[in-house]
Amino acid sequence: MKINFNIFKGNISWNALIHQLNGDVLLRHVSMKGNLDSRNVDFAYCDETCQGKILNDENKLIGNFSVSY
């Protein structure tokens, strides 16, 4: 599956191919390419829309991602 990431700070976007969708995989990709101030991030994902949110440790939206199969 392909994931499209968007980080609002710096307007950073990229795509990645993954085999399994989970928080550890998302965190690894966001930590490597997201240029974030902190690794304390969380993810919320909706199965119906195949879209997710990237949240900081204050539960504020700092980016989003979408999954395509």
Q: What is the pLDDT of residues 14-56, one digit of tens each?
A: 999 999 999 999 999 999 999 888 889 999 999 999 999 999 9
3-state secondary structure 14-46: EEEECCCCCHHHHHHHHHHHCCCCCCCCEEEEE
The answer to whether position 22 is within a domain reads yes
Q: What is the pLDDT of residue 38?
A: 83
The reply to whether 63 falls in a domain is: no
The answer to whether residue 10 sits within a structural domain is: yes
In-domain check, residue 50: no
Q: How confident is the model at residue 68 (pLDDT cuts 50, 70, 90)?
A: very high
What pLDDT is stored for residue 56 in this prediction? 94
Q: For residue 44, is it within any domain?
A: no
From the CB of residue 13, how many other CB atoms can be counted at a distance below 10 Å?
A: 12
Q: How many domains does the chain have?
A: 1
16 is in which domain, residue-wise? Answer: 1-35
In the block, which residue shows the tokens 């690794």?
39
Give residue for tokens 């204050």.
58
